[in-house]
Amino acid sequence: MSVPRIQFASEDDVPIRYMDRTREYYQTLGFTPYRWAHFTDAPFTPLSTPLARARVALITTAAPFQPEAGDQGPRAPYNASAKFYQVYSAPVDSKPDLRISHVGYDRANTVPEDVNAYVPLTRLQDAAAAGRIGSLAPRFHGAPTNRSHRVTMETDAPELLRRCREDGADAVVLVPS
Amino acid sequence: MGLAARHLEANGIPTVIMGCAKDIVEHCGVPRFMWSDFPLGNSAGRPFDIESQAQTLALALRLLETAPAARTTVSSPLRWTADAAWKHRFLDVGKLSPEEIAERRKEFDVVKAVAKAKREGA
């Protein structure tokens, strides 16, 4: 008697192990491996304002287009000269031209031609218009992609907190690219 | 981004991260994580697909409201492609020749020098 075949997903259809893949890649190139931030616990603050009345802020790692900083187009190779090392802020209604040539996104599988796939600014504006969130904070903020954990923790994160408080944010959506 | 979310949260502001690198974000340990099994660079949904982007944000907002504890991950039901072939193509060193490896090493040295100059000039 034959047992009905169970249709499991393919064995390799699992989350990509980015840390292993990246470690192996840079070791093959002859570089020392990067150490990723790691904690076994995490802080937690429940949302105390109903979302329909909450002011929501957006933080992105995308960079404003810099005319002098070389190729930042959707097919640009990794472009370190387009990186930024200080927190920046810009009005959410300024239609910002935000690019990601300065980070290691998946260049083998995607072409970042639609900013809405990596910065949900317009979708958040839709959510505010629909009353799903109370409002979008007046500015969004840019977080540097610094390899130094110390700079991120001691300089950039406190600066982002300061700016989110200044804007009266009740909650924050953070979107790495 | 994980470190920034932790800092905001520790200081009383609830956060949600939208992202694709499940292992990296969960390794950091963050309050709330909306995960899409999409290539890095598509944290907010599929390009030119408003429905996909709206659905991803809607789940992130639900997560913000309903997470019962820290380190809660919600997985998007959306699929990048029907099969997993794309997952093998990210930083695939197996396919590189020694010449290509040397070339990429050189390129990375240049990139590092550019980043260093920019950082120190900043």
Interface of B with A in 26-55 (CB under 8 A): 27-31, 35, 37-48, 50, 53-54
Q: Could you state, in order of their start, the residue ranges of all structural domains in chain A?
A: 51-175
Rounded to the nearest angstrom, the minimum Cα separation between A2 and chain B is 27
Q: Which residues of A touch B91 (CB under 8 A)?
A: 21-22, 24-25, 108
Q: Name the residue among A77, A62, A155 with its Cα closest to residue B114.
A: A77
pLDDT digits (tens, 9 = 90+) for A10-34: 999 999 999 999 999 889 988 888 8
d(CA B77, CA A156) in angstroms, rounded, equals 33
Q: Is A34 on the interface with B (CB under 8 A)?
A: no
Q: What is the pTM of this model?
A: 0.95
Task: Select the residue of B4, B37, B46 nearest A174 (Cβ to Cβ).
Answer: B4
pLDDT of residue B119: 82
d(CA A6, CA A28) in angstroms, rounded, equals 39
User: At CA A165, angle to CA B45 and CA B71, rounded to 5?
Assistant: 50
Task: Select the residue of B22, B37, B53 nearest A120 (Cβ to Cβ).
Answer: B53
Structure tokens at A99: 């690019």
d(CA B3, CA A38) in angstroms, rounded, equals 9
Q: Is A124 on the interface with B (CB under 8 A)?
A: yes
pLDDT of residue A138: 98
pLDDT of residue A71: 93
pLDDT of residue A15: 98
Q: Is A7 on the interface with B (CB under 8 A)?
A: no
Confidence of residue B122 (pLDDT cuts 50, 70, 90): low
Instruction: Decide: residue B72, CB within 10 A, 0-12 exposed, 13-18 middle, 19+ buried.
Output: middle
Confidence of residue B108 (pLDDT cuts 50, 70, 90): confident
pLDDT of residue B91: 86
Buried b (16+ CB within 10 A) or exposed e, A115-125: bbbbbbbbbbe
Q: Could you state, in order of their start, the residue ranges of all structural domains in chain B?
A: 2-81, 91-122
Q: Name the residue among B38, B47, B76 with its Cα closest to residue A122.
A: B47
CA A164, distance to chain mean position in Å, is 16
